[in-house]
Structure 1
Amino acid sequence: MTVKNDRFSAIRQRLYKSGYSTIQEIAYAVSASPAIIRRDLLVLEQQGFISRNHGGAQIAEDAGGEVAFAIREQHNLAAKRYIAEAAFARLKPGSAIFLDAGTTVLQLARRIRLNPLPLSIFTNCVTLAQLLMDVGELKITLLGGRLRPENASMVGSLAEAALDRLRFEQLFMGAGAIAEDNCVYTQDEEEARLNEKMLSRATKVTLLVDSSKFGQRSTYKVARLNDEMDVITDQNLPESWTLKLQETGCRVQQVAKKNECYPGHPG
Structure 2
Amino acid sequence: MLSETRRTKILEVLKSQGSAEVKNLSEILDVSEATIRRDLNMLERKGLLQRTHGGAISLIQKGTSFEPPYFIHKDRFIKEKQNIGMKALDFISDGDTLIMDASTTTLQIARFLQGKNNLTIITNGVDILNELSDKEGIVVMSTGGNLNKRSISLVGPVAEQFLKEVHADKLFLGISAISLKEGVTAPNIQEAHIKKAMIMAAREIIAVTDSSKFGKVNLFSVAPVSVLHRIITDRKIPEKDRKTLEKKGIKITIV
Q: Structure 1-normalised TM-score?
A: 0.68
**Partner Cα distance (2:67, 2:240) in 1:** 35
CA RMSD of the aligned region, Å?
A: 3.8
**Partner Cα distance (1:232, 1:169) in 2:** 17
Residues 106-117 of structure 1: pairs in structure 2 closer than 5 A: 106-117=104-115
**Residue 10 of structure 1, CA deviation:** 7.8
Q: Give, as a single letter, the amino acid of the residue that structure 2 aligns with 1:225.
A: S
Q: Where does residue 134 of structure 1 map in the other structure? A: 133
**Partner Cα distance (2:192, 2:9) in 1:** 30
Q: SS of the residue aligned with 2:74?
A: helix
Change in Cα spacing, 1:111 to 1:171, as seen in structure 2 (3 Å) is closer
Change in Cα spacing, 1:48 to 1:217, as seen in structure 2 (3 Å) is closer
Given that 1:182 and 1:225 are in contact with CA atoms closer than 8 Å, whether structure 2 keeps it comes out as: no
Given that 1:177 and 1:214 are in contact with CA atoms closer than 8 Å, whether structure 2 keeps it comes out as: yes
Q: Which deviations, in whole Å up to 9, do the C-alpha atoms of 1:173-203 show, x marking residues without a partner?
A: 0112112315111111222122112111112
Q: Where does residue 186 of structure 1 map in the other structure? A: 186
Q: Where does residue 75 of structure 1 map in the other structure? A: 76
**Residue 18 of structure 1, CA deviation:** 7.9
Q: SS of the residue aligned with 1:140?
A: strand
**Residue 250 of structure 1, CA deviation:** 0.7
**Partner Cα distance (2:73, 2:154) in 1:** 18
Give unpaired runs (5+ residues) of structure 2. Answer: 15-44, 54-65
Given that 2:209 and 2:231 are in contact with CA atoms closer than 8 Å, whether structure 1 keeps it comes out as: yes
Residues 28-67 of structure 1: pairs in structure 2 closer than 5 A: none
Which range is displaced more, 217-226 or 146-155? 217-226
Given that 1:81 and 1:108 are in contact with CA atoms closer than 8 Å, whether structure 2 keeps it comes out as: no
Percent of matched pairs sharing the same residue: 25
Q: Where does residue 217 of structure 2 map in the other structure? A: 217
**Residue 242 of structure 1, CA deviation:** 0.8
Q: Where does residue 42 of structure 2 map in the other structure? A: none
Q: Where does residue 242 of structure 1 map in the other structure? A: 242
Q: Where does residue 260 of structure 1 map in the other structure? A: none
Q: Give, as a single letter, the amino acid of the residue that structure 2 aligns with 1:150.
A: R
Give unpaired runs (5+ residues) of structure 1. Answer: 1-5, 20-45, 55-64, 256-267
Q: Where does residue 94 of structure 2 map in the other structure? A: 93
**Partner Cα distance (2:74, 2:67) in 1:** 11
Given that 2:99 and 2:123 are in contact with CA atoms closer than 8 Å, whether structure 1 keeps it comes out as: yes
**Partner Cα distance (1:197, 1:10) in 2:** 31
Q: SS of the residue aligned with 1:249?
A: coil
Change in Cα spacing, 1:83 to 1:13, as seen in structure 2 (3 Å) is same
Q: SS of the residue aligned with 1:135?
A: coil
**Residue 151 of structure 1, CA deviation:** 1.0
Change in Cα spacing, 1:73 to 1:181, as seen in structure 2 (3 Å) is same
Given that 2:182 and 2:217 are in contact with CA atoms closer than 8 Å, whether structure 1 keeps it comes out as: no
**Partner Cα distance (2:7, 2:81) in 1:** 21
**Residue 70 of structure 1, CA deviation:** 2.2
Q: Is 1:152 equivalent to 2:143 in the alignment?
A: no
Change in Cα spacing, 1:127 to 1:66, as seen in structure 2 (3 Å) is farther
Q: SS of the residue aligned with 1:243?
A: helix
Q: Which deviations, in whole Å up to 9, do the C-alpha atoms of 1:129-152 show, x marking residues without a partner?
A: 12x243231221111112222211
Change in Cα spacing, 1:73 to 1:214, as seen in structure 2 (3 Å) is same
Q: Structure 2-normalised TM-score?
A: 0.71
Q: SS of the residue aligned with 1:225?
A: helix
Q: How many residues align?
A: 241
Q: Where does residue 120 of structure 1 map in the other structure? A: 120
**Residue 225 of structure 1, CA deviation:** 2.2
Q: Where does residue 3 of structure 1 map in the other structure? A: none
